[in-house]
Amino acid sequence: ITQAPGDTPESLQENIALRGNWSGELEITQKKGAEVPVGIRVNQVDDPKTGMPAHYIWIFTDITERRQAEERMRHIAQHDALTGLPNRLSLLMRLAQLLPEARRHQWSVAIMFIDLDRFKTINDTLGHQVGDELLREVACRLSSVVRETDFVARLGGDEFVVILPGITTPADAAIVAGKIVAKLSTSIEAEGHELHTSPSIGI
């Protein structure tokens, strides 16, 4: 059994000794080597004559599906449904993690705010389906330009954010901005329309 953080054999025994039972979630390793999350309840059964513990009843429940459902809900809460990019909540969580690290290690971090020129006109004249397809393609192109350590998020509408951690100089951010402008300069096919847009970028 792989125990949850903070749990030790001693703490389990102490809880059972104090309360006569213990419940929690642990990882168990099957014979084939796969780890499975389980909910466990342990009940102590005392000898009616002596009052001393006679044996213990362990009840195991496979909670794989519940864990998977929780993970799906976490993903939905932290990602944009249209593009699959991290959303505003995920962006704030990443910044909360990154900025203290940057201060501690004296790293430079660039944050780029991007919106698309003429997006409202495209959306209003050609319809939301075309606008949505445009946003999905822009999300793919943004993700293809940045490094694995960078972070791309969609705030909503045509607003995107790119975080560049660990840059050396402000010019590094300008180089990435240039790559983004170049990547979005070629036409985008959406619902049979050839679209042209360009990004406005604030760094």
Which is the catalytic residue, given 62, 115, 124, 158? 158
The three-state DSSP-derived secondary structure of the chain is CECCCCCCHHHHHHHHHHHCEEEEEEEEECCCCCEEEEEEEEEEEECCCCCCEEEEEEEEEECHHHHHHHHHHHHHHHECCCCCCECHHHHHHHHHHHHHHHHHHCCEEEEEEEEECCHHHHHHHHCHHHHHHHHHHHHHHHHHHCCCCCEEEEEECCEEEEEEEEECCHHHHHHHHHHHHHHCCCCEEECCEEECCCEEEEC
Q: Is 124 annotated as catalytic? A: no
Q: Give the catalytic positions in this structure.
A: 158
